[in-house]
Amino acid sequence: MRVFFNAIIVQVVLSIYIYWWGWRALPDKKYIKIPYATVFIIELIIYFIGFFTSGSGLLPFDALHDLAWVGTTWMIFAIYMTVLLLIYDLVRYINYKWKFLSGTLDLKAKKNRLIYFCASLLLVIGVMVHGNYKFWNPVVTEMNLTVDKHSPNVKNLRIVVATDIHAGYLIDKDIISMYVDKIMAQKPDIILLVGDIIDYDAKSLYEQRMETEFFRLKAPYGVYASTGNHEYIDIGEKKDEKILWLSEKAGLTVLRDTTILIANSFYLVGREDDLAENRKSLPEIMQGVDKDLPVIVMNHEPHYLDQEVEAGADIALYGHTHNGQFFPNNVFMALNSKIYNAGIIPKDKKPKFMYELPYGYKKKGDTHIYVSSGLGLAGPQFRIGTISEIVVLNVSFK
């Protein structure tokens, strides 16, 4: 709850700053300023209604979906717009102190402020339109991998991986239907859903009968899932409500610190998320595994890749990071990765937001590692500087 209150405070503060900035830049005409003020008032009313009615059952699903979409979209708009306006104010302040700009450019002039405000508005809207397009058009990332182990009955395996689907109020049934269509279009031999399949609550899934879409996921060697941190978000539901929905309603085989031998040819390991109580170590989970056979591990959060490498995994699959989801988070994640890999920060002291591999493929020892940027996302439906992706691995065994 504290996170949501922090979000609403940020929303209000940013909205007030943008409103104040634009009010001073716009012409003093009622037919301009009244609609301008109305937009901000309506947006804040929508945000507060959505905030205080979410999960209360007072509004139908469609209304909650629309309120959540408006609120999260405005948040992204407010962040980008605020940054651009702050840049102008910072340059104006520096110029006031040191007079480094030409005297012909008056940053205090209303005309210049209006031009900059409108240009910023157009830029942010353009970036957001493109980001929304990328959200609605997931990329298929396909790779060919060779595992130097004997697999008695399966020589080639087409693995389709989706992480961070975040099914719920924002990623609704229509979007899930689109995801399922794209996953099935890849003609998978096996489907792996690596955590954060559900967004925040199970109620939205029941309301939409979301299980009918997950039932359409079919593959010769099965459809498997592992848990993510969102499956463990506590919003007052009964224990493991979201995980039970996945296994009992949606028909997925959820591997919770569990190993399964498939076709007597390869092992699939599903690790519990870091938030799970009594989470087992990987050596515990893999007791009794014949490591002469290929081993594939699903582990939602890519904090310690060495665990899978040292345990003898041939393929390790992760999600969670969203690759930052939108700029500049993706840049920060890439920089943090470089710092981490340079050995500047000891592994046992690294902060949780720092990853050895925040996104993409890496071969470490004999282990093929892939961290997906995710198919869905949490919150705003924009991929700015990142992609929504389905990962297809064409694996060849000996």
Q: Highest mean pLDDT range out of 49-53, 95-99, 184-188? A: 184-188
- How much is the average pLDDT of 111-122? 94
Tens-place pLDDT, residues 270-298: 999 999 999 999 999 999 999 999 999 99
Going from the C-alpha of 176 to that of each of 132, 170, 172, 182, 284, the distances in angstroms are 16, 10, 6, 10, 35
**pLDDT at res. 324:** 95
Give the pairing type, strands 223-226 and 253-254.
parallel
Instruction: Return the bridge partners of 267, or none.
Output: 261, 295
Instruction: Give yes or no for residue 1 having a pLDDT over 60.
Output: no
Tens-place pLDDT, residues 135-174: 999 999 999 999 999 999 999 999 999 999 999 989 999 9
Band the pLDDT of 46: cuts 50, 70, 90: confident
Tens-place pLDDT, residues 17-27: 999 999 999 99
Taking each helix axis as running N to C, give the angle between helix 61-98 and helix 30-53, from 0 to 180 degrees, rounded to the nearest 10.
130
Alpha-helical regions (H) of 54-163: 61-98, 110-136
- How much is the average pLDDT of 186-215? 95
Can you give the length of the chain in residues?
Answer: 398
Read off the pTM: 0.91
Band the pLDDT of 6: cuts 50, 70, 90: low
3-state secondary structure at position 389? strand
Going from the C-alpha of 62 to that of each of 167, 176, 244, the distances in angstroms are 15, 15, 25
Instruction: Give yes or no for residue 346 having a pLDDT over 90.
Output: no
Instruction: Give yes or no for residue 3 having a pLDDT over 70.
Output: no
Band the pLDDT of 93: cuts 50, 70, 90: confident
Distance between CA 41 and CA 25 in Å, rounded?
A: 18
Range in 58-67, 127-136, 218-227 with the lowest mean pLDDT: 58-67
Q: Are 167 and 374 in contact (CB under 8 A)?
A: no
Instruction: Return the bridge partners of 254, or none.
Output: 225
- How much is the average pLDDT of 37-46? 90
Instruction: Return the bridge partners of 258, or none.
Output: 270
Instruction: Give yes or no for residue 43 having a pLDDT over 90.
Output: no
Tens-place pLDDT, residues 350-361: 888 899 999 999
Location of structure tokens 């004999």: 366
* CB proximity list for 348: less than 8 A, separation 6 or greater: none
**pLDDT at res. 44:** 85
- Domains of the chain (ranges plus CATH)? 1-135 (no CATH), 140-397 (3.60.21.10)
For the chain, what is the mean pLDDT?
92
Q: What are phi and psi of 318, to 5 degrees?
A: -140, 165
Q: Are 242 and 198 in contact (CB under 8 A)?
A: yes
- How much is the average pLDDT of 181-207? 95
Range in 43-57, 78-92, 374-388 with the lowest mean pLDDT: 43-57
Mind spelling out the 3-state secondary structure of 26-40?
Answer: CCCCHHHHHHHHHHH
Q: Which has the closest alpha carbon to 227: 205, 207, 252?
A: 252
Band the pLDDT of 56: cuts 50, 70, 90: low
Q: What angle do CA 194, 217, 320 make, to 5 degrees?
A: 15
